[in-house]
Amino acid sequence: MATSKETNDALIVPAGRAPLIMLLAFTGGFSIMSIELLAGRMLAPYFGSSIYVWGSIITVFMLSLSLGYLLGGRLSLRSPSLGRFGIIFLVAGGTITPLLLGGNAIMEVVFAAVEDPRYGSLLASLALFFIPTVAMGTISPYAVRLLVDTVGHSGHVAGLLYFVSTLGSALGTLLTSFYFVLWFEVTSILVSLGLALVLCGVIALLVSARAGGGVAGDKA
């Protein structure tokens, strides 16, 4: 699909970087599901914890992820690099900030405006989680592009990355629901996830810069 536009079939990052990229994809997958579970916690005081509240949350996450995949694939067409990959993480981490600062205010407004908790929870989920989840959704397809060297290997690489990021999602789900909510406050967990994403971005940028292939280098 992308090969018609993409002339450069050579490996974009050295093969030794593969574990790093997989670790980043793992963290992305971990964060998505951890935040999804916390979404239930955040919405419950306003919209309850009925099945339709979870329906709203899962709908919004699936919708946002699908769009994120689309966007991540598109982004990977334009001079893909580890540095740019790092910037995706910085943006994803940053998009959690509005949740922390304005989450309750947004839910107050939605609660007052929409009487039906089904549509209230759907609207609140959209307002709070659409942008962060789209941002996190771009990670996987972009990571595939970074690791694919030949068309023949693309399925193998995609499979490996799905494996790693979905494994991260499984672990994020388990740890959050079994332990994190027992040990920490919702806001603390969200802040930590945001910081983890930002840290991932910084590491990717540093590694990329040390190899002389930073964002600026790519443009040149």
Partner 1 sequence: MRAVLTSLLAGMLTALVMPTHAEVIFEKRSLYRNIQVTDDADRRCLKFANRQHRVSRQSCQFHDDPNRLVFDYGKLVFTAFLLNPEPERILVIGLGGGSLPRLMQELFPGARIDSVEIDPAVIEVAEKYFDYRVRPDDRVLAQDGRVFVRRALLRGQTYDFVLLDAFTGDYIPEHMMTLDYLQECKRLLAEGGVLVANTFSSSRLYPHETATFAAAFDWIWNLRRRSGNRVIITGNMPKPDLETVRERAAARDWRAYGIDLSANLELITQPSARELEARVLTDEYSPANLLNARD
Residues that bind partner 1 (CB under 8 A): 41, 44-51, 111-112, 115, 117, 178, 181-182, 184-187
| 9/185 with CB nearer partner 1 | 185
What sign for the dihedral angle of Cα 123, 103, 29, 40? Answer: negative
The minimum distance between CB 58 and partner 1, in angstroms, equals 16
Specify the DSSP class assigned to residue 180: I
Q: Least distance to partner 1 from the beta carbon of 51, Å? A: 6
**In this complex, which beta carbon is closest to partner 1, that of residue 19 or of residue 48?**
48
26 vs 47, beta carbon nearer partner 1: 47
The C-alpha atoms of residue 47 and residue 118 are separated, in whole angstroms, by: 8
| Residue whose entry in the numeric block shows the structure tokens 């991540």 | 72
Nearer to partner 1, 15 or 182 (CB): 182
CB of 117 to partner 1, least distance (A): 5
Report in angstroms how near the CB of residue 122 gets to partner 1 at its nearest.
14
Closest-CA residue to 60 (of 68, 49, 50): 68
Nearer to partner 1, 44 or 62 (CB): 44
b/e per residue 161-174 (b: at least 16 CB within 10 A): beebbbebbeebbe
Task: Give the single-character DSSP code of 190.
Answer: H
Nearest-approach distance from CB 31 to partner 1, in angstroms: 19
Q: Which residues contact 68 (CB under 8 A, 6 or more apart)?
A: 133, 134, 135, 136, 137, 138, 139
The angle at the Cα of 149, spanning 210 to 68, to the nearest 5 degrees, equals: 80
